[in-house]
Structure 1
C-alpha cells in the first residue's frame, strides 16, 4: 500500500480520509500539529503528504519549508476556500498541488493519484517498488538532466527542483526547440486534464525559471504553450 501522511488538526477529517483512502489502496497516518508531522515524516518515508495551512502550533508553510530543506516528497496543501494567497505561497514554496476545503473525496483522490503518477511511485504486488527503466540523459549548454536519477545540474552545480518542476523541465527538454502545448504540459507533467485551469502550471513554471536563471531560456508562446530554446537561441 502507498503510505500517506496527513498533517491536519481536524481528527474527524483524519478518520474519514483514512477510512476512504484505505479502500482505494492507501495507508494513511495522521498528526494534528506541525511539529509532530515533521517528526513523523522524518521517521518514516511517506510517499505523499497532505498538509493543512492552518495548524495549532505553526503555519503549514513553515512545515513545508522544513520539509523542502531535506526532501522532495510530494506535498498537497489543504487550503481555505477562496484563500488564493495561501495557494500562491504554497506553490511558490514548493508544494506540488493544492485543494481547497471543503473538498469532494473523489477529487482529492484524483489529485493524489495524479501527483503520485508524476513521481512514478508505483508498487508491484507484494509491496516491492518497481525498478524504473534507465533513461538517457539530456544535455545542452551547461545543463545536464539525469532522467533516471531525476537530477539536474547547471554549470556543474546541482539545481534543487521539486519533482513537479523536474517533470516540466524534462518535457520541455525532450521537445527542445519546439512548442509544448499548455494542455500537453498539464497532462504529462501535472497529471491534469483540460477541465482543470492552468493556474498551477503558471506558478510552477515561474518557479522553474527563477531557479534556472538567465542561462536557460524558457519562452512563453502566447496562446499556445512554452518553448525551451536551444543554447544558441536559434529556436523560436
Structure 2
C-alpha cells in the first residue's frame, strides 16, 4: 500500500508540474495575430468571399479574441451599420452564440471626432475644388476596385500581397492629391487600431487574436504589426487555404 501511495504521490506531483509548465508556457508565448480583411457591403458582390463565407472563415480561424472595427457604444448596442454590413449580418450573430473575448477598435468620442476631423476637412476641400484631379481620383478608385474584384476569387486573395500592394498605392495617390489632412487622419486612425491590437496581444499572451477590419486597412496594419514586439503576426493568405475555408 505504501508503494502504491508513493507512486500515486509521484504521479500527482509530476502532473502538477506538467500543468504548471503548460500554463507558464502558454503565458510566455506571444499572442498570434491574424488581420482578416473584410469587404463591408461588397461581400454581396464577391461570390468567393460572401457574407456566409466570411462567417465560415472566422469560425475556422478559431479566435480566442476578436478585435472589431466598431466603437464600443455601437458594439454594446449591436447597432445597425449602413456600410459595415458584416457586423449585423455575420459578426454580431457569431458573438451571440460564440465565446470570444471582444475588443472594440474604434475610438470613442471625443477622440473619434478629433482624429477624423482633419481627414474629413481635407476631403471636403478637395471635392469642393472641382479640379480635374477630383474626377481622375474617383475614376482611379473605381478602376482599382473593378480590377480587385476580378482578383478576389476567395478570402485568401482579399488578404494577399497583391491586394495590399494595390491599396497601398491607392492611398499613396490619395494622400499626394488631397494633402496633409488625408495623410494625418489616415495615419492617426490606423495608429489607434494598432495600439488597441498591441494591448490586446499583451493582455492575452499565447492566444489567437483575429482582427476584422476593412480591406483598405490591411496593408498598413500588417506592415506595422510585423514590426511589433510581443506578438506574432500570422500570414492570413496562407491560413486561408481552400481546405481551411471549405464548409465543415
Report the TM-score when normalising by structure 2. Answer: 0.26
Larger strand share, 1 or 2: 1
Specify which structure has the bigger relative contact order, considering alpha-carbon pairs within 8 angstroms and separated by 6 or more residues: 2
Report the TM-score when normalising by structure 1. Answer: 0.27
Larger helix share, 1 or 2: 2
